[in-house]
Amino acid sequence: MAAEATLVSKYITIFFVVFGYWIVSISTVFVNKTLLSHINLDAPMFINLTQTLITVLICYSKKKLSDAFPNRFKFPDVDLWDRYTLQAVFPLALLFTTMISTNNLCLKYASVAYYYIGRSLTTIFNVIFTFLILGETTSKRCIACCAVIIGGFWLGVDQENLAGSLSVPGFIFGILGSLSLSLFSIFTKKVLPKLQGEIWALSYANNVYASILLFPIMVLNGELKELYNYDRFSESFFWSIILIGGICGFTIGFFTSLQIKYTSALTHNISGTAKACAQTVLATYWYQETKSLLWWSSNLIVLFGSACYTWIKQIDMERRHKENVVYQRV
């Protein structure tokens, strides 16, 4: 009974983590689209920087509260400039910076509805990098599912092109976003144990390093001139949406790490794909976009391929687990 209660508790925790990730992630995409398209500020790296800095501020505030009231607040002890922390987290911060930058650039140039298709290759990259980095092979059935996903991706791109709404920069940044998300998921799973599984420590270090990396990128992107000439800094709406975007940036990073911690890099990527499908339906309704039957078919093909991949992968994992148990008994 105790084991069953523990298992139920585990599944409830996973449900709320995944549900929270969906809500926060969808909200973040719509807020970021507003930031990138409706405030007349062509400075995507600056928007990324505000979000990482707000996350750092939230983490630092909790750290200070933990110092002042240790019985009420807890914050892991992390030295940002310790060699061990730098070696463990800084490579992940590079991936994190690449991921959030390409995500926002994809959203800048493409619609929220296309965002799902543009980011649908995450599973493909996950298979490739899992083999290259972790040495884990993938069954032929899973590879067949990957072929289905790629087919759905190209059909969606073709339909966007026929409709005249395909953005080449959005297409490129969508692929780069899928690639960096896949790597980020894999390395997060590897880095978390080095920080004793502390999500707050990872979020704090990751965003401090990302803020340092984003500033020179913002300068090289020519955004200082854009910011200097921007005339809406005095408007309350601008700072309100920046603050909301920063809070969303913090929560999406937090829930992403939680979902990877309590499930796996694979489950996180599949959850993101399914979430993006729901997000696409909301986006077409919210922005009153009309899409063709083939365009919707491409979304369903990607979702079907991802679902089959997850199902087959789960069966393969259970089979390997049983084989290991039998081997250990022998």
One-character DSSP codes across 90-109: HHHHHHHHHHHHHHHHHHHH
Q: Is residue 77 scored above 70 in pLDDT?
A: yes
Which pLDDT score, from 0 to 100, does residue 28 have? 83
Q: How far apart are CA 153 and CA 167, in angstroms?
A: 14
Which pLDDT band holds residue 238 (cuts at 50, 70, 90)?
confident
Phi, psi of 231 (to 5 degrees): -115, 15
Buried b (16+ CB within 10 A) or exposed e, 47-78: bbbbbbbbbbebbeeebeebeeeeeeeebeeb
Query: Under a CB-based contact definition with an 8 Å cutoff, are residues 113 and 279 in contact?
Result: no
What is the reported pTM?
A: 0.80
Q: Is the pLDDT of residue 7 over 70?
A: no
Task: Give domain limits for the chain.
Answer: 2-68+80-329
The answer to whether 136 and 128 are in contact (CB under 8 A) is no
Q: Is the pLDDT of residue 329 over 60?
A: no
How far apart CA 211 and CA 205 sit, in angstroms, is: 10
> What's phi and psi for 77, nearest 5 deg?
-80, 110
Contacts of 275 (CB under 8 A, 6+ apart): 21, 22, 25, 26
pLDDT at 2: 57
Note the residue count of the chain: 330
| Model pLDDT for residues 155-167, shown as the tens digit of each residue | 888 888 887 788 8
What DSSP line would sit under 274-313, residue for residue? Answer: HHHHHHHHHHHHHTT----HHHHHHHHHHHHHHHHHHHHH
pLDDT tens sequence across 274-321 = 787 778 888 888 878 778 888 888 888 888 888 788 778 777 766 765
